Amino acid sequence: MPLRSSLQKGYINTILQEIPALSSLFSAYASIITTIMLLRTMFDQFLPPQVRRYVIKALKYYWEPKSSDTQTLEFEEKDGRSPNNMFNVAEAYLCTIISLDSKRLRITKKESESHFNIKFAKSQQIVDSFEGISVTWEYLNEKQKKEDNDLTKIRRCLTLKFDQIHRDIVLTRYLPSIIKKVEHLKNQKKAVKIFSLETRGFKAPVNLDHPSTFDTLAMDPNQKKAIIDDLDLFVRRRDFYKKVGKVWKRGYLLYGPPGTGKSSLIAAMANYLKFDVYDLQLMNVRSDSSLKDMMLQTSNRSILVIEDIDCSTNMPNRNGTTPSKSKSPSDSKFSLSGLLNFIDGLWSCCGDERIIIFTTNHLEKLDPALLRPGRMDMHIHMSYLTFNGFKILAANYLNIHNDHWRFREIEELIRCKKVTPAEVAEELLKSDNAEVVLEGLVKFLKGKKNGAGATTTKGDEVLEAKTDNI
């Protein structure tokens, strides 16, 4: 009994000690409830209904638990028996964001390539982000057995996982942005090819390894800028051409004396745009129908080149007469009308994003029908070498990027005598010693100034008289 009584007293003392703490807790609780009631009263009485609804909606958005549903998109390597282009696009894109720190990588190399490629390995994951959204890519390589036999089929697939609430953004913005980026990368890595058009199809193309670029082209800087701006404007105006009802093509006429860089300019344009080049020799064309067949062999995003149009063939004009008596209209059914019909007639709409380039050494010999707007949109005069063009050649051939003590004399000689970039380039190739080369160039230019070996054709005089380069 004494023990029990002492336990009861201890229990009662403990409760009495906790009473102040409990009372403090109840006081705090009552204070919080009072504050909440006060804030609610102020919220209901002082805030407009529109503001109250906005605040409630915002609180629900941030405090309510988000859905954990995950959306999965699959990109299989095959679409039936056909390749799935989206698989290739996704794989190419992932190669640009893959980390070399990954524990597993896939290495590939084609025989024609000089480098190896690092690709996504199976069972690996890559986390990507787009507009604040996190997505996860995974490469699957599974073996599947057919039910009717023991044959094993390998299923290659890329999966894309993301929160389902972001599905619209992924489908309408993320995937199209991937396609656009891969197309840009593919265009940058593209090897430009040159085709030779013939009546019976074209020969196997070869890579156009011409090193000419706009940076190395010995041309007036303002003229180069005008050409580059025109090309840039053309390639980005697909919708504009469709809107105004015009075929998405562009025509250029390069005219000037031999050796002024017409072929180099064509190569620079092809390398800049990454457009394949189709070379058409009009002397191989026997009729308008064969010309049409040859033209239809060209692909989109290409440059059709017809060089030396003034002398490549005695082409009958639209009146049925030939410019030379050595060939009569009965010898060839190919006419100027057939060529014009493909340039801007109904057949010109067979293809998009095409460039047609004519070159000539004698502008005055061309039929005026070829020169009117809509056929040759831009006339580019390839003039004799200027001093600015020479400085580009000196930088390319001699690695001289600053002024040289001989430059003033060379500038005066270039101004008072017609000299082509090809002639000067030939002189710059004669030695590795810059001083020796420049001394030889001065002697060469003085020789031309004194009339040694200088010949000027009537056509060249006509071209030089034209002061507008474009």
Residue 374 maps to a domain? yes
Q: Does the pLDDT of residue 463 top 50, yes or no?
A: no
Domain boundary among 134, 155, 189: 189
| 215 and 99 within one domain | no
Q: Does the pLDDT of residue 267 top 80, yes or no?
A: yes
Strands 125-130 and 276-280: unpaired
| 226 and 179 within one domain | no
Once rounded to an integer, what is the mean pLDDT over residues 226-241? 92
Sign of the CA dihedral with 32 first, then 36, 38, and 39 last: positive
- Across 84-98, 111-125, 274-288, 402-416, least confident range: 111-125
Cα gap 229→417, rounded to integer Å: 31
The pLDDT assigned to 288 comes to 77
Most confident of 47-61, 115-129, 234-248: 234-248
Q: Does the pLDDT of residue 149 top 70, yes or no?
A: no
Nearest in space to 219 (alpha carbons), one of 257, 256, 265, 252 = 265
Mapping DSSP onto H, E and C, the string for 108-170 reads: ECCCCCCCCEEEECCCCEEEEEECCEEEEEEEEEEEEECCCCCCEEEEEEEEEEEEHHHHHHH
| 102 and 74 within one domain | yes
Residue 59 maps to a domain? no
The pLDDT assigned to 64 comes to 58
Residue 118 maps to a domain? yes
The pLDDT assigned to 464 comes to 35
Once rounded to an integer, what is the mean pLDDT over residues 28-49? 78
Nearest in space to 417 (alpha carbons), one of 439, 386, 395 = 386
Nearest in space to 298 (alpha carbons), one of 331, 369, 347 = 347
Once rounded to an integer, what is the mean pLDDT over residues 7-12? 56
Once rounded to an integer, what is the mean pLDDT over residues 234-257? 89
| 418 and 307 within one domain | no
Q: What is the tens place of the pLDDT at every residue in 168-206? A: 999 999 999 999 999 888 877 788 889 888 756 556 788
The pLDDT assigned to 66 comes to 52
Q: Which residue has the higher pLDDT, 270 or 83?
A: 270
Q: What is the tens place of the pLDDT at every residue in 305-329? A: 998 887 655 555 545 455 554 444 4
- pLDDT classification of 150: cutoffs 50, 70, 90: low
The pLDDT assigned to 107 comes to 80
Once rounded to an integer, what is the mean pLDDT over residues 149-164? 79
Q: Between the CA atoms of 247, 250, 251 and 254, what dihedral angle is there, to the nearest 10 degrees?
A: 180
User: Mean pLDDT, the chain, as a whole number?
Assistant: 79
- pLDDT classification of 19: cutoffs 50, 70, 90: low
Q: Does the pLDDT of residue 467 top 50, yes or no?
A: no
pTM: 0.65
- pLDDT classification of 470: cutoffs 50, 70, 90: very low
Q: Which residue has the higher pLDDT, 352 or 131?
A: 131
Residue 178 maps to a domain? yes
Most confident of 78-92, 253-267, 331-345: 253-267
| 207 and 178 within one domain | no
Domain that holds residue 273: 193-381
Nearest in space to 444 (alpha carbons), one of 436, 432, 463 = 436
Once rounded to an integer, what is the mean pLDDT over residues 301-308? 90
Could you give the number of structural domains in the chain? 3
Q: What is the tens place of the pLDDT at every residue in 414-432? A: 988 889 999 999 999 999 9
| 335 and 413 within one domain | no
| 258 and 234 within one domain | yes
The pLDDT assigned to 208 comes to 87
Domain boundary among 173, 189, 205: 189
Domain boundary among 381, 407, 426: 381
| 280 and 301 within one domain | yes
